[in-house]
Each structure stands twice: as C-alpha cells, then as structure tokens.
Homo-oligomer: A and B are copies of this chain.
Amino acid sequence: MATRLSVAATHDPQQACRWAVQLEYDGTPFIGWQRQASGRSVQDVLEAAAARLTGGRPVASIVAGRTDAGVHAAGQVAHLDLPLAVSERLTGARLCDALNFHMKPDPVAVLRAARVGPEFSARFSAIRRSYEYRILNRPARPALDANRAWHVRQHLDIARMQAAAALLVGRHDFSSFRAASCQARSPVRTLDRLDVTRAGESVMLRAEARSFLHHQIRNLAGTLKLVGDHRWNLEDVAAALAARDRSQAGPTAPPQGLCLLAVAYPIDPFA
C-alpha cells in the first residue's frame, strides 16, 4: 500500500511535475508496451529507469499507443510525473540523457523530453497516431530486416491494394478488423489515411487516425495483402467491412512489420 500511495502522491501537481517523453524502441525482445504478469515490457524498462531518478520511488507512465509484442516505435509518446525536487534539477536534455543511461542496454531510447502541464495526457490528449506497416515483397526471406518486416513471397499488386485501401478510409464500424480482446467501447473509428506505396522490394502501408482499435492496422494489412495477391477482389473487402464480423476479414498480419511513427497533439509538447 505504501507503494501505491507514493505513486498517487506524485500526481499531485503541488508536489510533482509532468514530463512528456518521445520514445524509440525495437519491440523484438519485449512482450509489448504494457506491463504484464510475466515477461519484460517497454513500460517496465522506462519506469525502472525513471525510478532510478527518484531514489527508488515508483514512477507510473501513461502511453499514447499500447503497442503489442514485437511492434516497434520511432515516435511513441508517454508521460510521467516526477517529484518536484527531482524535476527542478532537470532539463529536457538531462532527462533524456539520464533515462537513456539507465535503460542501457535495452533497445529503448528517449529522443526528446519536455515539461508539460498537469492537464496533458500522452494518451487522451493525442489527436493523431501515425503507423507504418512494412512488407518485404520478394522471394528470399529477410536477413537484414528479419524483425522489421512481414515477408510476403507472392508479388503484390499495389494498384489493387490502393483501391481496397480507399474503401476503408473514412468513418466506419471496424468490427471486422478488431481483435476479440479490444477494450474500446465503440468499434467506430475514422481512418484518416491508409496509403499503399512501393519502394523496390518494400511495400509500405501508412495509416493515420485519431485512435485505432486493437490489432486494427495488422488486420487491415492482412486483408490488403489478400487483395494484392489476387485472392480477394474489392467486393470481398467491401463485404468484409459491412459484415462487422472479425471472421469475415483477412488474417492478422505479424507484429514485426508494424511501427508507431508519430503521435500528434493540439500543441506539440516538444516544440
């Protein structure tokens, strides 16, 4: 109980300062962002490093995107509250350096840190999340990017994938693309962008929305792949979306292709 009380105490703006941190991580060795009963999470690594700055007093963090096991981030954002006495000795650059030092050698790095007001929430203040999903589309399995892309051997027709993506952009009930474990109250989301591009052997999906359902992008990627290799046509995609039934859409694409690129706020906390 003492531990919980001390965490709660740091949320008192009279005694604590809130910091926003931008994070890069390789998701390969982690069970995902969120702490779980077994295995190491990115959250564990960040909070353990922060606790080194408070003399062992626990520090709780809230994150913009709770990435799954194996999913990467280039621009994740979290916030955490540090005691006033600790915060007074810090600048954004010093907090970056200190956290990066204590997180070694884990593949997690704080890129930027900034003091924010107590009203800022990395999760609830976010107005846009941008993800990239990378497919390595060639016969040979990946060597350099084994943990960074989904390997698809069959040639993907990106013109077909682009046409299918256009059907999915906009405000829809995405029940067909939502994991059974999804905790969101509503399956309705507005997908602002779902671009498909090719650069040599890489096929890149770029998805943007205020928020996503659990597994939504990986389920969209798995469905677009069926269109790209001619197993599905556009009517199949429209029917899958209309069905509002997970079993009617394509399989969940593997996690290692996904990367959280950026999170946007009404006012950039790092500007």
Residues of chain A whose beta carbon lies under 8 Å from any beta carbon of chain B: 23-26, 72, 74, 93, 96-97, 100, 104, 107-111, 138-144, 146, 259
Alpha-carbon distance between A138 and B97 when the two chains are bound, in angstroms: 12
Whether the pair B144, A25 counts as a contact (CB closer than 8 A) is yes
Which residues from chain B contact A142 at a C-beta distance below 8 Å? 24, 109
Whether the pair A144, B93 counts as a contact (CB closer than 8 A) is no
Query: How far is the CB of A134 from the nearest CB of chain B, in Å?
Result: 12
Whether the pair B26, A109 counts as a contact (CB closer than 8 A) is no
Please list 18 pairs of residues, one from A and one from B, whose beta carbons are closer than 8 Å in the complex, sorted by A's number: A23-B143, A24-B142, A24-B143, A25-B143, A25-B144, A26-B143, A26-B144, A26-B146, A93-B139, A96-B140, A100-B140, A104-B141, A107-B146, A109-B141, A109-B143, A110-B140, A111-B138, A111-B140
Chain multiplicity (copies): 2
Which among B72, B104, B146 is the interface contact of A144 at CB below 8 angstroms?
A: B72
Beyond A96-B140, A107-B143, list 16 extra A-B contacts (CB 8 Å). A24-B140, A24-B144, A25-B143, A25-B144, A26-B144, A26-B146, A97-B139, A100-B141, A104-B141, A107-B144, A109-B140, A109-B141, A109-B143, A110-B140, A111-B138, A111-B140
Query: How far is the CB of A209 from the nearest CB of chain B, in Å?
Result: 23
Which residues from chain B contact A259 at a C-beta distance below 8 Å? 144
Q: Chain B CB within 10 Å — which of A96, A97, A111, A139 has the most?
A: A139
Which residues from chain B contact A100 at a C-beta distance below 8 Å? 140-141
Which residues from chain B contact A23 at a C-beta distance below 8 Å? 143
Query: How far is the CB of A95 from the nearest CB of chain B, in Å?
Result: 11
Which residues from chain B contact A108 at a C-beta distance below 8 Å? 143
Query: How far is the CB of A81 from the nearest CB of chain B, in Å?
Result: 22
Query: How far is the CB of A98 from the nearest CB of chain B, in Å?
Result: 12
Which residues from chain B contact A26 at a C-beta distance below 8 Å? 143-144, 146
Give the 6 A-B CB pairs with smallest separation, nearest first: A109-B143, A24-B143, A109-B140, A107-B143, A111-B140, A25-B143
**Chain B minimum-CB-distance residue to A153:** B97
Alpha-carbon distance between A144 and B93 when the two chains are bound, in angstroms: 20
Which residues from chain B contact A96 at a C-beta distance below 8 Å? 139-140
